[in-house]
């Protein structure tokens, strides 16, 4: 039986990166290869990619999901959008001295209003919101919202964060957290990869705030994973097929890309299209699509640490994290990266 304690480790707080490296590719890269650990620089990544390999990136774009406002009674309130359902409806977490009731109205930045229509979520932890009056939620949030940094980053979003907490290839609005492995790439590195004969492909998975929610059960078999939306183009499905046919390796850039690819292949073959996934990947899972994974370091007891343990082996990941802590690697969203070889 897998338990939460199987995925715990000690992390000194000073190793949690609060700001990005000076340049996107200036982070360190820990390469875990057949139980061997290699300390590298992220700028060396193209040398570790072979002609005929395929890198799959998540091109989601982070929305300005943090909203400040007040109740009609005057009480201050903070809204963190979990996802925009459509141009008039959203699901959100709300922080207030007293939770708003259905039917109540929230005034955001004295610019627009949201009506609380009810509660939703596995434990009713989210609020269902509807735009009151005319307008489009995507537009209003981009105009009046604030960039949502992860809870372990202690400063409010600054000018630098506005660019560095987005990937250079971010296209489709909808995420409330960045696909952080992609933050290490700049346009010059993407060009280097194609010059080396690698192929690049894209998918979209809108990362939800649920990615930061702690696992609240000891027995992992009892955990219900949060759901996220993804969309895989037919061109990406065809690129994966070409890669495997020529003996190349499919490299997921980030756990979000891996989750989308594996979720879309649950029937046995990778399928294009849009869907929702609540796939929970733990050790013992058999990977169908992905051969290698580029990822950042993850929180103790997190579902993402469980995922990378399934991919590269629990003992291997445990050793890699101990090495990373001992060698002062930078952790989490603005931290350093890993290149993992799959067990399959």
With beta carbons less than 8 A apart as the criterion, state whether 318 and 10 touch. no
Distance of CA 242 to the CA centre of its chain: 26
Both 224 and 255 in one domain: the answer is: yes
Non-local (6+) Cβ contacts of 326 within 8 A are none
Both 251 and 294 in one domain: the answer is: yes
Q: Among 144, 170, 187, which residue terminates a domain?
A: 144
Both 43 and 73 in one domain: the answer is: no
Both 80 and 58 in one domain: the answer is: no
**Mean pLDDT, residues 157-173:** 96
Grouping H, G, I as helix, E, B as strand and the rest as coil, residue 235 is: helix
Both 9 and 107 in one domain: the answer is: no
Assess if residue 152 is contained within a domain. no
Residue 194 confidence (pLDDT): 98
Assess if residue 167 is contained within a domain. yes
| pTM, 2 dp | 0.95
pLDDT tens per residue, range 299-311:
999 999 999 999 9
With beta carbons less than 8 A apart as the criterion, state whether 145 and 63 touch. yes
Distance of CA 102 to the CA centre of its chain: 31
CATH number of residue 297's parent domain:
3.40.1780.10
Assess if residue 42 is contained within a domain. yes
Report d(CA 100, CA 94) in Å as an integer.
8
Quick one: angle between helices 255-263 and 303-312, nearest 10?
70
Say if residue 204's pLDDT is above 90.
yes
Residue 163 token pair: 């660019």
Both 71 and 58 in one domain: the answer is: no
Both 13 and 98 in one domain: the answer is: no
Quick one: angle between helices 303-312 and 314-326, nearest 10?
110
pLDDT tens per residue, range 11-50:
999 999 999 999 999 999 999 998 999 999 999 999 999 9
Residue 326 confidence (pLDDT): 98
Both 189 and 238 in one domain: the answer is: yes
Both 303 and 196 in one domain: the answer is: yes
Residue 125 confidence (pLDDT): 83
With beta carbons less than 8 A apart as the criterion, state whether 47 and 335 touch. no
Task: Give the H/E segment covering residue 114.
Answer: strand 112-120
Both 35 and 122 in one domain: the answer is: no
**Mean pLDDT, residues 101-114:** 95
Both 169 and 233 in one domain: the answer is: yes
User: Position of tokens 């609540």?
Assistant: 278
State the total domains in the chain: 2
| Length of the chain as a residue count | 344
Average pLDDT of the residues of the chain:
95
Grouping H, G, I as helix, E, B as strand and the rest as coil, residue 252 is: strand
Report d(CA 111, CA 124) in Å as an integer.
28
Non-local (6+) Cβ contacts of 343 within 8 A are 287, 311, 312, 313
Question: Which range marks the domain in which residue 38 is found?
Answer: 4-62+160-341
Residue 288 confidence (pLDDT): 97
With beta carbons less than 8 A apart as the criterion, state whether 321 and 340 touch. no
With beta carbons less than 8 A apart as the criterion, state whether 89 and 57 touch. no
Both 236 and 309 in one domain: the answer is: yes
Residue 34 confidence (pLDDT): 84
Show the beta-strand stretches assigned E in 121-158: 126-132
User: Position of tokens 């705030």?
Assistant: 209
Say if residue 121's pLDDT is above 90.
no
CB-based burial, 143-181: b 16+ in 10 Å, e otherwise: ebbbbbbbeebeeeeeeebeebbbbebbeeebbbbbbbb
With beta carbons less than 8 A apart as the criterion, state whether 52 and 243 touch. yes
Grouping H, G, I as helix, E, B as strand and the rest as coil, residue 146 is: strand
């Amino acid at each position: 039986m897998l338990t939460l304690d199987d995925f715990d480790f000690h992390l000194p707080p000073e190793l949690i990166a609060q700001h990005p490296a000076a340049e996107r590719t200036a982070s360190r890269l820990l390469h875990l290869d057949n139980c061997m650990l290699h300390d590298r620089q992220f700028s060396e990544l193209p040398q570790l990619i072979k002609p005929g390999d395929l890198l799959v990136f998540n091109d989601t774009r982070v929305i300005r999901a943090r909203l400040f406002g007040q109740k009609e009674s005057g009480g201050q309130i903070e809204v963190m959008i979990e996802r925009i359902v459509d141009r008039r409806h959203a699901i959100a977490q709300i922080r207030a001295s007293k939770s708003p009731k259905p039917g109540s109205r929230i005034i955001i930045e004295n610019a627009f209003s949201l009506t609380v229509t009810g509660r939703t979520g596995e434990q009713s932890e989210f609020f269902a919101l509807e735009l009151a009056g005319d307008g489009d939620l995507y537009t209003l949030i981009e105009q009046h919202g604030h960039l949502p940094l992860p809870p372990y980053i202690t400063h409010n979003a600054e000018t630098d964060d506005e660019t560095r907490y987005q990937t250079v290839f971010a296209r489709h609005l909808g995420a409330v957290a960045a696909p952080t492995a992609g933050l290490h790439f700049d346009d010059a590195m993407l060009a280097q990869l194609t010059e080396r004969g690698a192929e690049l492909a894209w998918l979209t998975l809108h990362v939800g705030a649920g990615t930061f929610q702690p696992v609240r059960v000891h027995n992992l078999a009892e955990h219900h994973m949060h759901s996220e939306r993804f969309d895989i183009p037919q061109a990406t499905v065809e690129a994966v097929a070409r890669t495997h046919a020529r003996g190349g390796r499919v490299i997921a850039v980030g756990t979000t890309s891996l989750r989308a690819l594996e979720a879309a292949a649950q029937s046995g073959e990778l399928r294009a299209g849009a869907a929702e996934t609540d796939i929970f990947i733990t050790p013992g899972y058999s990977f169908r699509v992905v051969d290698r994974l580029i990822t950042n370091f993850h929180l103790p007891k997190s579902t993402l640490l469980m995922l990378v343990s399934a991919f590269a082996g629990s003992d291997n990941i445990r050793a890699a994290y101990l090495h990373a802590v001992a060698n002062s690697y930078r952790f989490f969203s603005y931290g350093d990266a890993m290149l993992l070889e799959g067990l399959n």
